[in-house]
Chains A and B, each alone.
Chain A
Amino acid sequence: MSPSVRLQEMIRVIRGARTQGEERGVIQRECAAIRAQFRQADNGTRSHNLAKLLYVHMLGYPAHFGQMECVRLIASPRYNEKRVGYLGAMMLLDEKQDASLLITNSIKNDLSHSSQYVQSLALCTLGCMGSAEMCRDLAPEIDRLLRASNSYIKKKAALCAVHIVRKVPELGELFTPASRSLLSEKNHGVLHGAVVLITELCERNPETLEQFRKAVPELVQIMKGLVMSGYSPEHNVAGISDPFLQVRILRLLRILGRNNETASDAVNDLLAQVATNTDSSKTAGSAVLYETVLTVMDIKSESGLRVLAVNILGRFLLNNDRNIRYISMTSLQKIVQTDHNAVQRHRGTIVDCLKDQDASVKRRALELSLALVSAVNIRSLMKELLLFLSSCPPELRAHTTSGIFNAAERYAPSQRWHIDTILHVLTTAGGDVRDETVPNLIQLITTATELHCYTVHKLYRALIADISVQSLVQVACWCIGEYGDLLLRGECEETEPVQVAEDDVLDALETVLQSHMSSPATRGFALTATMKLSTRITHNVDRIRSIVSIYGSCIDVELQQRAVEYNALFKKYDHMRAAVLERMPVIDKSSPGHTNGESAGGSIKEMEPTKRTQEVVLPQEPANQVCDLLDLLGGSGEPPQPSPALSTTALGPVSSTAGGDLLDLLGGLDAPLDHVTRPGKTLGPNYRLFMTFVSHSYPPQSVQLQMKAPSGDVIPAHGLGQVTQTVLLNNPNKVSLKMRVRVCYTSQDFVCQDTVQIDSFPSPAW
């Protein structure tokens, strides 16, 4: 009887056990027998006993006493014993066990064994559980095997080298030369191993990466061979020749082409070829296409290729196979930041995937939808998201609510929409929202001053419908307390009027106070709201007084303290009650990232009301006294066009009077003050700031002023240029001059103004 039947017999017996206890008994007996056998001398059954032990170990029972047996079996000269011994070593020993060091010598000997199958056992074990010391010891051996052996051993040595490099990265340099030469092998197994090894080396060492960039043409050749080759029965999977190798080569090309123009250029053609020629009807082809898309997006590929890649992902999105839809959404998530518009085109399909049955697909669709929210699509997308929220699986709810809130904060088209959205979320999934939602919502409500009436009506209706959602109840109580007078007034422009009596409101708040569902924080809100109403209602103040005094003896300390203080407010400090409980001012939002239309440009200084002289717009002078200034739109020497409708004017002559130089001027004048307005020219994206010049100068009344054209009408940002505008002043009375200059300009579509006062002119001015 062949001894291995005994193993199968044991397995049969164990499986036949009807209860856990019975099984444990059988196993204990067997383990005892095995231990006894191990202590005996060699009797030819050692390997079978170890195999039995390994089975027991897989069932979850302790098997550490087999470790030494593994070591002994590995050292045995017999192949079958070695085989089981090595298997045992991989299952029972790992680098943390001391016994693992004992097999180092055996492995070393077996690496030079005459039989390749023994060598392969040693390589396999080393590559599976070799510790750092073992790797250091045996690395030269592995290098030797990489160079001079048959392909069966070479492929195993390559992956063993990968393990060594992962454990001891410094040894990577040892394997670099050998791995380069492996690329010329024909055997696919060896080639695959070589590509994996090179990938590992390049990922860990940037210099090696540089070196291997020179191998890109060779890799491209290999890949082309695979793609264009005919049918090979050995490697064909669903029409693709060796998809495993293809995917690994694409991954290596990705690493080599990243951030490098030359390498990326070299693979552009190949990627286009693979993308178009690969048949993606089966998983194997889709896997290759997927890897191609990842590579295209990661390297510096040309834009046509990128478009092709995004289109492939779009095609995947429409695939019937769920796996492929999932994959496509994962990839789109990675590129949504960089190629936002391309992904936006597929928004419809992505939103449809929100309704998929599968939880993984739903999650991906949610992430992607949240990433695609923009100011343009916020309304329609939010509708879909809210619909999704009502039916979404519980593990995704918290994420959905926080995503919705973020999107609403960034892109809300109006405050009313924002408030409505938050209220909708609170009613649908109020239990899953973040803690800061309540204060955030309250802050939002206070800023939307026109909507106070609408908000409080809406919240009141929600409150009387359902008091179980704590966050909603808290906000509702706060609002009713704060804006109760608006509620009681009855009319509201934005919603249908409803008559609410004071008693109804107090009833609602009392229900919240007394309900078991209300948390202590919520009851605190309700009590404070009740108190606030005492200054906002007219008839039922006594009722409030009684509620407050009841809670003065409440068990909850917080409530009790509040009630006692409010009581005191009624009794001793009644004169202060109105002041204490009056409407709160708008709360300042201090959190960063709040936008909605804040200007990105510089600060806008406020215009102080100044004592200014009127702007004097005098009629134009006749044409023959044109100045050579004022080429508004570039053409000099043009006659001035007297038309008040136009925004350009002409200047009068410059007559010289006494008055000398003021600010670099050329004498006085009696020309009219002119008012120069120019439309700003929009320049390209290089300029951040562009200005329209409107300069007003306000000198004292007796002085006359002539403004010349500015030297340009756009000032580039960051102080890269300047514009000069000359002003001529006629000061016949020689008064001391003060001037206030106002500059109006447009910066990125916001009109700004700046005022400068010039008090001191150079003394020869008058």
Chain B
Amino acid sequence: MLRFLLLFSRQGKLRLQKWFTPVTEREKKKVIREMTLMVLARPPCSCNFLHWRDLKIVYKRYASLYFCCGLEDQDNELLTLEVLHRYVELLDKYFGNVCELDIIFNFEKAYFILDEFLMGGEILETSKTAVGIAMEEAETLQETMEEYMSKPTY
């Protein structure tokens, strides 16, 4: 299973963090700092896999964002690269040509998409279209509620 998934910028600013095991705040900060240091220090054309403590770290850079996750021993690193790629595709489909600013200003949507794709460190949905459909329907439900809420209540 994945232990965590982090998104951070080239300057080391965190854009998204998802932890799949219970971790204290202090430990989270430590891991984030170490991941950022390790990944940002890698030269451009190097291998996407690292070893850290007892975990395998897989990272991939998309434009100005680094996607970094920690895996357990039996997990398939090449498949995880595909997982990261799929997540980016989902974001891209939802936001239309996604860029870092979209994720900054709509971080809660990024989380919702992630929660439709991964759960408990495992892949939840393998279909490209199902996640998008679920998001749309949930949005519809939300808008209906908001519309309802913004009507004056007499």
Interface set of A (CB-CB < 8 Å, partner B): 2, 8, 11, 15, 44, 51, 54-55, 58-60, 78-80, 83-84, 87, 94-96, 115, 117, 120, 123-124, 127-129, 152, 155-156, 159-160, 162-163, 166, 188-189, 192-193, 196, 233-235, 237, 242-245, 247-248, 251, 283-284, 286-287, 290-291, 322-327, 357-361, 363
Contact = CB atoms under 8 A, between A and B. Distances in A.
A358 B47 contact: yes
A287 B138 contact: no
A248 B122 CA distance: 10
B108 A87 contact: yes
25 contacts: A8-B105, A51-B108, A54-B107, A60-B14, A60-B29, A83-B138, A94-B22, A95-B22, A96-B24, A117-B134, A117-B141, A120-B134, A128-B119, A156-B119, A160-B119, A196-B122, A234-B128, A235-B127, A243-B82, A244-B123, A247-B79, A283-B85, A291-B79, A322-B46, A327-B78
A104 to B, nearest CB: 16
Given A60-B29, A96-B22, A326-B49, A79 B145 contact: yes
B115 A287 contact: no
B122 A234 contact: no
Contacts of A324: 78
A188 B14 CA distance: 33
Interface in B25-52: 29, 43, 45-51
Contact of A287 (B78, B105, B120, B129): B78
Nearest to A51: B108
A228 B23 CA distance: 43
Interface of B: 14-17, 20, 22-24, 29, 43, 45-51, 74, 76-79, 81-83, 85-86, 104-105, 107-108, 111-112, 115, 119-120, 122-130, 134, 137-138, 141-142, 145-146, 149-150
B127 A162 contact: no
Interface centre among B46, B78, B142 (most CB of A within 10 A): B78
A692 B78 CA distance: 58
Contacts of A283: 78, 81-82, 85
A192 B123 contact: yes
A192 B79 CA distance: 14
A80 B130 contact: no
Given A117-B138, A323-B81, A124 B119 contact: yes
Contact of B108 (A54, A162, A166, A358): A54
The secondary structure that dominates the A interface is helix
B47 A189 contact: no
Contacts of B112: 83, 87
Contacts of B24: 96
Given A51-B108, A235-B127, 12 more contacts: A8-B105, A58-B16, A58-B17, A60-B14, A78-B145, A79-B141, A160-B119, A192-B123, A196-B122, A290-B78, A360-B49, A361-B47
Contact of B124 (A55, A159, A233): A159
Given A54-B108, A79-B141, A323 B77 contact: yes
Contacts of B83: 244
A245 B138 CA distance: 26
Interface centre among B76, B129, B149 (most CB of A within 10 A): B76
A234 B127 contact: yes
Contacts of A287: 76, 78-79, 81-82
A156 B45 CA distance: 38
B76 A290 contact: yes
Contact of B47 (A44, A51, A247, A323): A323
Given A84-B108, A247-B76, A291-B76, A189 B81 contact: no
A244 B118 CA distance: 12
A199 to B, nearest CB: 10
Contacts of A327: 49, 77-78
Contact of A244 (B82, B119, B134): B82
Nearest to B83: A244
